[in-house]
């Protein structure tokens, strides 16, 4: 299966969606979106949003351990504070 970050990149390119636009839509920073595009694993909540918005199958986000992290990174935690 294609890596979820490549699916996201293809969806964005196909729809002309920028990192900033996706960030605004999901309520995260552009830095977080950039990290996702480089393969940084999103939280379960953001994976669900990405699945809905970009049509990425849920199973594409599941690592071998079968669990997603609770949060993305300190960047999003700081934004919500």
Q: What is the pLDDT of residues 55-75, one digit of tens each?
A: 999 888 887 655 555 666 545
Q: Give the whole-angstrom CA distance, residue 70 versus residue 56.
A: 19
Query: Residue 81 above 50 pLDDT?
Result: no
In the block, tokens 């636009």 appear at 21
**pLDDT value for 66:** 58
Looking at residue 58, what DSSP letter applies? G
Query: Residue 52 above 90 pLDDT?
Result: yes
**pLDDT value for 60:** 87
Host domain of residue 25:
4-10+19-80
Q: What is the pLDDT of residues 1-44, one digit of tens each?
A: 568 999 999 999 999 999 999 999 999 999 999 999 998 989 98
Structural domains in the chain (count):
1
Q: Which residues contact 71 (CB under 8 A, 6 or more apart)?
A: 43, 77
């Amino acid at each position: 299966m294609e890596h979820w970050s490549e699916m996201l990149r293809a969806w964005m390119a196909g729809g002309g969606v920028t990192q900033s636009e996706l960030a605004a839509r999901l309520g995260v920073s552009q830095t977080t979106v950039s990290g996702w595009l480089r393969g940084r694993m999103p939280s379960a909540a953001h994976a669900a949003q990405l699945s809905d918005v970009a049509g990425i199958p849920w199973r594409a986000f599941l690592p071998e351990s079968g669990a997603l992290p609770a949060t993305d990174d300190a960047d999003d935690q700081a934004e919500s504070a």
